[in-house]
Amino acid sequence: MNNAFDLAGKTAIVTGSCKGLGRGMAVGLAGAGADVVLVDRDEATDTAKVIESMGRKALTISADLMSIEPIPSIMENTLATFGKVDILINNAGTIRRTPAIDFSEKDWDDIMAVNAKTVFFFSQAVARDMVKRKSGKIINIASLLSFQGGILVPSYAASKGAVAQVTKALANEWASLGININAIAPGYMATDNTKALREDAVRSKAILDRIPAGRWGTPGDLADVAVFLASSASDYINGHILVVDGGWMAR
């Protein structure tokens, strides 16, 4: 059974891998045997050092995914170094908190660009390589706000709803080509994106009171889930949004 989770010989691209959830998932994939391409606006050198200390290879690429322009170059560098892409984790994302009545067009466009548009076009780019082997795993990072509306984050909620629907749409087209595309919807995680919430005593208590597990999630909580969806153990899972939330959605 353990062999089903073995990623030895696989090459993964993880976006937003400098810190937080992306770093946790990148290190998790390396722990299962994968070599990892680390894509972030800031070069993910610390993550690379951890991966290399585990005996795996790491390639760091600095790119601003607010635009899809860097994607061809990322693919070119990855294929030149590793020859193929087996796994993509579309983790890069951003959030801006403003009342909907005051939300600007720029903030709307920026969030939708990196959280939704880049997810589609990066998936398209790796799929063109994956179809050559009729094998590949694409994992998008959705959110509880793929299901809920949230407060003060209208564009983020819209973008994560888009992630869930794009995941399903691409699964409908690509499952027959040997590509599994699924999404992870993290619950309330202790990352930079939730710093303001965690520091707000009232909001933090309200959130924790609804989580049966009684705590904020950590990057480590997503690592093994990412390995599962990246491995052959998930070969018959397509278009699924896997919630990892300590039970928040169950309340």
Ordered by start, the domain boundaries in the chain are 2-190+218-244
**pLDDT score of 2:** 59
Q: Does the domain spanning 2-190+218-244 belong to CATH 3.40.50.720? A: yes
Report which secondary-structure segment, H or E, holds 186.
Answer: strand 179-186
pLDDT of residue 233: 97
Examine the pLDDT at 1 and tell me if it is beyond 70.
Answer: no
pLDDT in tens, 7-29: 999 999 999 999 999 999 999 99
Among left, alpha and beta (phi > 0; psi -120 to 50; other), residue 81 is alpha
Residue 242 CA to its chain's centroid (Å) = 12
The verdict on whether 156 is a catalytic residue reads yes
Q: Which residue is catalytic, options 156, 174, 216, 228?
A: 156
Phi, psi of 243 (to 5 degrees): -85, 130
Report the pLDDT value the prediction gives residue 196, as an integer from 0 to 100: 86
pLDDT one-digit tens code per residue, 184-237: 999 999 988 788 889 999 999 999 999 999 999 999 999 999 999 999 999 999
